[in-house]
Amino acid sequence: MAEQTYNWSAIAKNPKFIELHHKKTAFLFGWWIFSSIYYFLLPIGAAYAPGLFKIQILGRINFGYLFALSQFFVSWGLAMYYAHVANKDFDRLTKELVNELH
């Protein structure tokens, strides 16, 4: 089997690669900021607003427990949303780039 060599500097300058890299970076950076803020709201909220986190919602279940549990669902939701966007946009741009290179 013949080994392929790629001109990586030409690929990096390709408009499709630049578009793919820009879209992916913007998407990931935006959601990284959101998820970091959401993650740190739990310890910051528990420290500076303990009354809010002690509010009883259902029996012994309080707002703090529900907020902590919501972080799992938000993470799963973000993962599913990323998979959707990756399948729809990032994979399409990657296929276009690969087809252009061959």
Q: Where are the domains of the chain?
A: 13-101
Cα–Cα distances in angstroms (integers) from residue 14 to residues 31, 32, 93, in the given order: 26, 26, 12
Which stretch of DSSP H or E encloses residue 69? helix 63-85
pLDDT score at 21? 93
pLDDT score at 3? 65
Cβ neighbours around 17 below 10 Å, total: 19
DSSP per position, 3-32: PP---HHHHHH-HHHHHHHHHHHHHHHHHH
Residue pLDDT, tens place only, 55-95: 999 999 999 999 999 999 999 999 999 999 999 989 988 89
pTM more than 0.85 = no
| Structural contact between residues 81 and 7, judged by C-beta atoms closer than 8 angstroms | no
Per-chain mean pLDDT for the chain: 91
